Amino acid sequence: MQFVPSESHSPPLNLPQFTKNGGAVQENSSNFIANSATPWLVGASGICGLYIHIPFCFHKCHYCDFFSIVGDKKAQKTFVYRLLLEIKTVGQQIHDPISTIFIGGGTPTLLEGHLLSLVLDAISENFTFTDEYEWSVEANPETVTPEIASLLVAGGVNRVSIGAQSFDEQCLKSLERWHAPESVERSVHYFRDAGIENLSLDLIYGIPNQSINVFREDLRRAIDLCPEHISSYSLTYEPNTPLTVKEQRGEVQKIDEDLEYQMFEETMEILASNGYEQYEISNYAKPTRQCKHNLLYWNNGSWWPLGPAAAGHIAGRRWRNVPRLSQYNKHDGLPPIENVELLSPSGQAGETFMLGLRLREGIPKNRVDRLLSFFFFFFFSFFIFFFFHFFFLSFSPYFLLSSLFIFLSYLSQHVNIIGIFVTFNKSLTYFINP
């Protein structure tokens, strides 16, 4: 059955209204969604990645705080129709080749086969890719069949992330995961047979009542399946999730912090001894198999989000699409955007610094040197001036204030103040985009 979006002409691209909100600049979301696409999308450059959110699950796990719903076939069809419109609109404006695509959820592999094929085909038809692009799809083991595996490969997908979480039945029950441990192994075989050469397995540790021996067995079984990538996350008690509510009621008890730390340490040791390199706090990979999409996030790169509740980042702007399916389904091809935040250069630099600290390699020295040189010059000069007055002039209650005033006066007479701030801004820009 053919399922094709309307071929109506593209809507006009009007500038949104801007309002001040504290120190940040926020775009008027209601006008933005109803009347315009993004002016910063038109002809946008430097966009390396796409994230596509598929919100459907057959069950909502009680620890998950991602936007997901239990939806029927009719809901899937309506959603895909709107997603195809969004893909087409955004694809018309992004001309740079895409290096990484990530389809997450929810459970992308829960979509009916023909609907999933439409999504994959729409992405291929509306975007160009680099020669060594990475196209990842998340998969729940219970939804994987030989047909789904072949469909993904035929659509251009070359990397799959399987949500194993654990190989212990009791741990899976504690997480409210409905798949059986053996379904993970079965899924791996299906994807290998279909031609997927880059597989990732997700594991969770710190599960209530999970012992160190049980987690060691999880690591062993994951390694035995020879995935190219393993993600190992500590269980997080997110606000307002059923798991957190149970913990607050005393129905669930967190494991001991020392035990959780031991699990983290052994993850590093065991995976390293089996050829996996830790490149980010929770991510390990065989050489050259690091997840490009992960690295795009941690290096504060630019990517465009598609689908409800998907978040994006371009040119110092962070935003997300509307987080409700009913609202998302009302859009007519325009990006359904809300909560756009325009970061200052110092805000961007701060984010780049904090995200970079998650990476094993840290922040490259050349990105820091120029920024630090400015701070060193300014504060060193001030302290030299301060101590000169302290030793050679009498001290008074207004000494510090007067010293600062004299120092700034001196700078205004002998140094180009505007030049200093221009230099500082250039330092921030270099730090963000070296």
Question: pLDDT confidence of 429, banded at 50, 70, 90?
Answer: low
User: How far apart are alpha carbons 352 and 431 in whole angstroms?
Assistant: 8
* Torsion-angle region of 226 (φ positive above 0: left; ψ -120 to 50: alpha; else: beta): left
Selection from 14, 117, 11, 106 nearest residue 51 by Cα: 106
Share above pLDDT 90 across residues of the chain, in percent, rounded to a whole number? 53
User: Beta strands 337-342 and 24-27: pairing type?
Assistant: antiparallel
- At 335 the pLDDT is 79
Q: Are 404 and 354 in contact (CB under 8 A)?
A: no
CA gap 72, 69 in Å, rounded = 10
Span 105-132, average pLDDT: 95
Instruction: Report pLDDT digits (tens) over 321-374.
Output: 998 899 999 887 777 888 788 887 777 777 887 888 888 887 766 666 655 555
| Per-residue pLDDT, 358 | 86
Q: How far is CA 208 from CA 140, 176, 219, in A?
A: 22, 12, 17
pLDDT value for 229? 98
Q: What are phi and psi of 12, to 5 degrees?
A: -65, 150
Q: Which of 35-49, 276-290, 365-379 ranks highest by mean pLDDT?
A: 276-290
Residue 21 has pLDDT above 50, yes or no: no
Q: How far is CA 291 from CA 129, 134, 232, 252, 279, in A?
A: 16, 8, 14, 33, 9
Whether a cis peptide bond, with omega within 30° of 0, leads into 106 is: yes
Asked whether residue 18 carries a pLDDT value surpassing 80, the answer given is no
Backbone angles phi, psi at 97, to 5 degrees: -65, 140
Q: Is the pLDDT of residue 234 over 90?
A: yes
> Which 3 state secondary structure label does DSSP give 24?
strand
DSSP character for 40? T
Which tokens hold the place of 407? 């120092």
The third-level CATH classification (topology) of the domain covering 39-343 is pyruvate-formate lyase- activating enzyme (3.80.30)
For residue 225, the number of C-alpha atoms closer than 13 Å in the C-beta half-sphere is 30
Give mean pLDDT, residues 31-38. Answer: 39
Of 100, 184, 114, the residue nearest 155 (C-alpha): 114
Delimit the domains of the chain by residue range. Answer: 39-343, 365-432
Parallel/antiparallel/unpaired status of strands 199-205 and 229-234: parallel
pLDDT above 70: residue 379: no
* Contact between residue 84 and residue 118 where contact means Cβ atoms under 8 Å apart: yes
Q: How confident is the model at residue 14 (pLDDT cuts 50, 70, 90)?
A: very low
Backbone angles phi, psi at 119, to 5 degrees: -65, -45
pLDDT digits (tens, 9 = 90+) for 144-163: 999 999 999 999 999 999 99
Cβ–Cβ under 8 Å, residues 294 and 280: yes
- Taking Cα atoms as reference points, which of 295, 254, 306, 273 lies closest to residue 85? 306
- How far are the Cα atoms of 77, 133, 325 from residue 83, in angstroms, in the given order? 10, 22, 11
pLDDT value of position 25: 33
pTM attached to this predicted model:
0.79
